[in-house]
């Protein structure tokens, strides 16, 4: 499950609009909404594009996208 709170913090800090982010990773704004609210999973390509777009480090990326698996 995605740590949506942490991901939303990165999005807010970036100053980028959700429409721009969604388009940059190849999905609709609605699809991004579903993914940010854990109604639909991020695909691996989307995760990597999003991490690059938002300048998220590999360690933070693991914490965000693999929150259930951290420290297990």
Domains along the chain with CATH numbers: 4-69 (1.10.260)
pLDDT at 44 over 70: yes
The span from the CA of 20 to the CA of 12, in Å, is 13
pLDDT of residue 19: 97
pLDDT in tens, 13-36: 999 999 999 999 999 999 999 999
Residue 71 has which token pair? 């420290």
Asked if 38 and 1 touch (Cβ cutoff 8 Å), the reply is yes
Residue 58 has which token pair? 């590999």
Which is higher by pLDDT, 39 or 1?
39
pLDDT in tens, 56-69: 999 999 999 887 65
pLDDT at 72 over 80: no
Note the pTM of the prediction, 2 decimals. 0.85
Residue 24 has which token pair? 């940059």
């Amino acid at each position: 499950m995605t740590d949506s709170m942490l991901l939303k913090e990165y999005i807010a800090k970036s100053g980028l609009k959700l429409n721009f982010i969604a388009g940059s990773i190849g999905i609709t704004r609605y699809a991004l909404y579903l993914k940010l609210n854990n109604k639909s999973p991020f695909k691996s390509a989307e995760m990597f594009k999003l991490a690059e777009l938002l300048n998220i480090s590999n360690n933070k990326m693991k914490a965000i996208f693999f929150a259930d698996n951290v420290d297990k």
